[in-house]
Amino acid sequence: MPDASWSLIIHGGAKTIDPDRATANRAGCLAAVEIGAAILSEGGSALDAVEAAIRQLEEDNSFNAGYGAVANTDGNVELDAAIMDGTTLDLGAVAAATKIEHPISVARLLLEERATLLVGDGADRFAASRGFRERGNAPSSQLDDDHDTVGAVARDQHGHMAAGSSTGGLQGQLPGRVGDSPLPGCGLYADDAVGAVSISGDGESIARVTLAARLMSTLEDQPLKVALQRAFLRLERIGGEAGMIALDRRGNFGVMHNSDHFAIALASSQLQPVAALHRDELKEMFDHD
Ligand code: ASP
């Protein structure tokens, strides 16, 4: 039975946030969560809310995704994005795309295709064939060498869940390098029966420990807090920085990070939109941080 409750949490990267970038990070995260919350409060789907929130973050060049993406060693941008439907376990993802204006929306269209992941020129051509506008492939942001990937996780009033991510990867990355963000079980996962998660951080480390998969498997029979702790224990084995936003299947929130800061915002049928960047703010929201 639908319980008419919904939850949405988004992130703008696990990173160190300079004081002069705090306001932009906070405002950008709040704007994204408000757009997604409007969809969910009107009975819209988790997929629509995740896509809309991430589109907003892709448009904001304070974040390393979409328009704000950083450059690789050639001075070009390469974009990765993914979205997962927790009801059907469908995945749509693009990686190392160079011309896509809104990679999360191209990923969303791929949910309807047999292919789950298109890379490079194939992703660009698929987007063009579906009428997507091109983005120039010069970087438009001057972000520091830090993590700014964006992501969102939602549960709608029908109990359906979705997770998404979008990134320009790492500043100065090798051309063709792809991190965890478009890979299921690494940078994201969603399953209505269990929960959903989206991650930012050191892509190679996150992929090597399949961080999202680790969280999901613990979450099958443990509370979200324990699942987050165990996922971080696994990451500690090899080291690396990460921030995770998650929901359990009932829509309870979880956030954990080992980066200096983690830009997040959340809202639910019970909670007005609120943003946080600092550990002590998160601690107030989640006593397990
Ligand atoms: N995880 C992303 C990547 O490795 C980077 C980030 O989170 O900013 O591509």
Q: Which of the residues are catalytic?
A: 149
- Are 153 and 255 contacting, i.e. CB atoms less than 8 angstroms apart? no
Strand order across the beta sheet in which 7-15 lies: 117-119, 91-97, 79-85, 161-167, 150-155, 7-15, 261-268, 274-276
pLDDT above 60: residue 5: yes
Identify the residues whose C-beta falls under 6 Å from ligand 1.
13, 64, 147-149, 167, 169-170, 179-181, 200-201, 203
pLDDT of residue 169: 82
C-alpha of 3 from chain center: 25
Query: Which numbered atom of ligand 1 lies nearest the CA of 177?
Result: 9
Tens-place pLDDT, residues 119-160: 999 999 999 999 988 876 555 555 555 557 899 999 999 999
Which protein residue has the closest C-alpha to ligand 1 atom 4?
Answer: 203
Atom of ligand 1 at shortest distance to CA of 206? 1
Please name the residue whose Cα sits nearest to atom 8 of ligand 1: 147
Nearest residue by C-alpha to atom 9 in ligand 1: 169
| Residue 289's pLDDT band (cuts 50, 70, 90) | very low
Mean pLDDT of 90-112: 94
Mean pLDDT on 193-199: 98
Ligand 1 centroid–CA 116 distance in Å is 20
Closest atom of ligand 1 to 169 CA is 9
Q: What is the pLDDT of residue 288?
A: 47
For the entire predicted model, the pTM comes to: 0.94
pLDDT greater at residue 160 or residue 21:
160
